[in-house]
């Protein structure tokens, strides 16, 4: 695997830490800002909304720019967003800083994913994406629990300062180690890449990815209060459980990256179905601390097993537009990350309790599984683009009648 792919994965560590660390900071942040837990949870949705909007917009806006230069600029903006969050005097300033950070994060994911898959053969796409997603898994193992610890002992703002420092390290790594990509013979045109949205399989893949992400983050966003208020664990155990979830995520990403290139749809079916089962078990056993912790670890494994496959699936069905394929996948994941916490917050506000959040997440996973099955049953779209899409090292031609 090229070293540039690993550097991108290390940069994703900083991005992922910021994206998910609020799951361990909701309670101290809510107390400090004087807001409810569901309202604090909207900060997770704010980040996800920024990712949804930012991925396609920034991918389109930077389509003709040098990719390394784009990555450097986006990481710089992201780091400044963390500083703004650390200094935020009010909830709404913090909300705005999360959106700005998410826009930069989304652009980095979209462009970085396109760079990663352009540097490897088609048969290694899932493995390349598993390296990037591995940075996300490590963020869950180390970054998110560390953020929770900082939140408990030094205040939640310290976690934002720490991510700003991580962003600076990632920026240095990209500048030093990600090579400037060779210019394509013909600059890509946005109109040509937009043709992929005429393909029904792109939309079905988007829906599957969004619903699967919604299932996971409907539960994960409220995992800390579930563990403390329903399972009865002390708040000090939250960082440990989040780290265990991250270990499960790393295991899932590694396994998924190894098997998805050979058994793409099988990996998607198996991972989503397993996540639905784990969520159902968690809903039933949420009041038992050992069962809840075990389910959290298993959810990390099952959810992240599907991630490389879902990414590779989108690149396969959107072959003619690798940059927008990466952007579409990023947007899809974060549509789910917006939908899930919002639905979870509604359930909590209705007074149904945290086990009902797990049931809601299970329903989203089953719907994702149904749409994945429909996608396989329908088969390829009869109309695809005749655009010639050129990645730096692997030109691809897709045609229409």
Per-range mean pLDDT, top range of 138-152, 220-234, 369-383: 220-234
Please report which confidence band the pLDDT of residue 390 belongs to, taking 50, 70 and 90 as the band edges. very low
pLDDT at 240 (0 to 100): 83
Query: Three-state SS for 390?
Result: strand
What is the average pLDDT across 287-304?
Answer: 90
pLDDT score of 61 more than 90:
no
pLDDT digits (tens, 9 = 90+) for 205-229: 889 999 998 998 888 888 888 988 8
> And the tokens for 303?
């959810």
CA distance linking residue 139 with residue 10, whole number of Å: 9
Please report which confidence band the pLDDT of residue 48 belongs to, taking 50, 70 and 90 as the band edges. confident
All structural domains of the chain with their residue ranges = 3-397
Can you name the CATH fold of 3-397?
Growth Hormone; Chain: A; (1.20.1250)
What does pLDDT average to over the chain? Answer: 80
Please report which confidence band the pLDDT of residue 185 belongs to, taking 50, 70 and 90 as the band edges. very low
Cβ of 297: how many Cβ atoms within 10 Å? Answer: 19
pLDDT at 302 (0 to 100): 92
pLDDT digits (tens, 9 = 90+) for 305-331: 888 888 778 877 766 566 677 677 777
pLDDT at 298 (0 to 100): 93
pLDDT at 193 (0 to 100): 65
pLDDT at 188 (0 to 100): 56
pLDDT score of 80 more than 80:
yes
Choice between 79 and 152, residue whose per-residue pLDDT is larger: 79
What is the average pLDDT across 59-81?
Answer: 83
Please report which confidence band the pLDDT of residue 401 belongs to, taking 50, 70 and 90 as the band edges. very low
pTM to 2 decimal places: 0.69
Choice between 276 and 264, residue whose per-residue pLDDT is larger: 276
pLDDT at 280 (0 to 100): 94
> And the tokens for 294?
């075990």
58-62, 106-110, 226-230: range with lowest mean pLDDT: 58-62
| Contact between residue 302 and residue 219 where contact means Cβ atoms under 8 Å apart | no
Exposed e or buried b per residue across 245-282, where buried means at least 16 C-beta atoms within 10 angstroms of its C-beta:
bbbbbbbbbbbbbebbbeebeebbbbbbbbbbebbbbb
Pick from 196, 199, 195, 192: nearest CA to 64: 192
pLDDT score of 278 more than 90:
yes
What is the average pLDDT across 48-61?
Answer: 77
pLDDT at 393 (0 to 100): 40
């Amino acid at each position: 695997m090229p070293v540039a792919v690993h550097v991108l994965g290390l940069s994703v560590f900083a991005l992922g830490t910021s994206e998910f660390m609020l799951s361990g900071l909701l309670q101290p942040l809510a107390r400090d800002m004087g807001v409810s837990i569901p309202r604090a949870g909207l900060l997770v949705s704010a980040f996800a909304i920024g990712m949804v909007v930012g991925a396609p917009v920034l991918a389109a806006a930077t389509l003709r720019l040098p990719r390394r230069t784009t990555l450097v600029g986006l990481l710089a903006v992201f780091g400044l967003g963390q500083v703004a969050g650390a200094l935020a005097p009010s909830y709404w300033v913090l909300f705005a800083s999360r959106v700005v950070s998410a826009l930069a994060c989304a652009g980095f994911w979209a462009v970085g994913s396109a760079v990663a898959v352009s540097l490897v053969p088609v048969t290694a796409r899932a493995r390349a994406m598993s390296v990037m997603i591995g940075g996300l898994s490590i963020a869950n193992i180390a970054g998110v629990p560390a953020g929770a610890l900082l939140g408990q002992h030094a205040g939640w703002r310290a976690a934002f300062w720490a991510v700003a420092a991580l962003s600076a390290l990632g920026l240095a790594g990209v500048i030093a180690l990600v090579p400037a990509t060779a210019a394509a013979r013909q600059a890509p045109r946005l109109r040509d890449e937009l043709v992929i949205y005429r393909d029904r399989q792109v939309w079905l893949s988007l829906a599957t990815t969004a619903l699967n992400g919604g299932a996971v983050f409907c539960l994960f966003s409220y995992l800390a209060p579930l563990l403390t208020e329903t399972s009865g664990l002390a708040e000090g155990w939250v960082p440990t459980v989040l780290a265990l979830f991250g270990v499960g995520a790393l295991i899932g990403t590694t396994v998924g990256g190894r098997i998805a290139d050979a058994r793409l749809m099988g990996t998607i079916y198996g991972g989503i179905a397993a996540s639905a089962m784990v969520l159902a078990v968690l809903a039933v056993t949420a009041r038992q601390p050992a069962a809840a912790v075990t389910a959290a670890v298993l959810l990390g494994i099952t959810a992240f097993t599907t991630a490389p496959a879902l990414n590779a699936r989108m690149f396969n069905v959107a072959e003619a537009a690798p940059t927008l394929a990466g952007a579409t996948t990023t947007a899809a994941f974060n549509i789910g990350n917006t939908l899930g916490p919002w639905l979870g917050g509604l359930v909590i506000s209705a007074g149904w309790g945290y086990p009902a959040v797990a049931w809601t997440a299970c329903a989203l996973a089953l719907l994702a599984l149904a749409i994945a099955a429909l996608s396989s049953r329908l088969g390829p779209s009869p109309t695809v683009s005749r655009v010639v899409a050129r990645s730096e090292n692997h030109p691809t031609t897709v045609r229409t009648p």
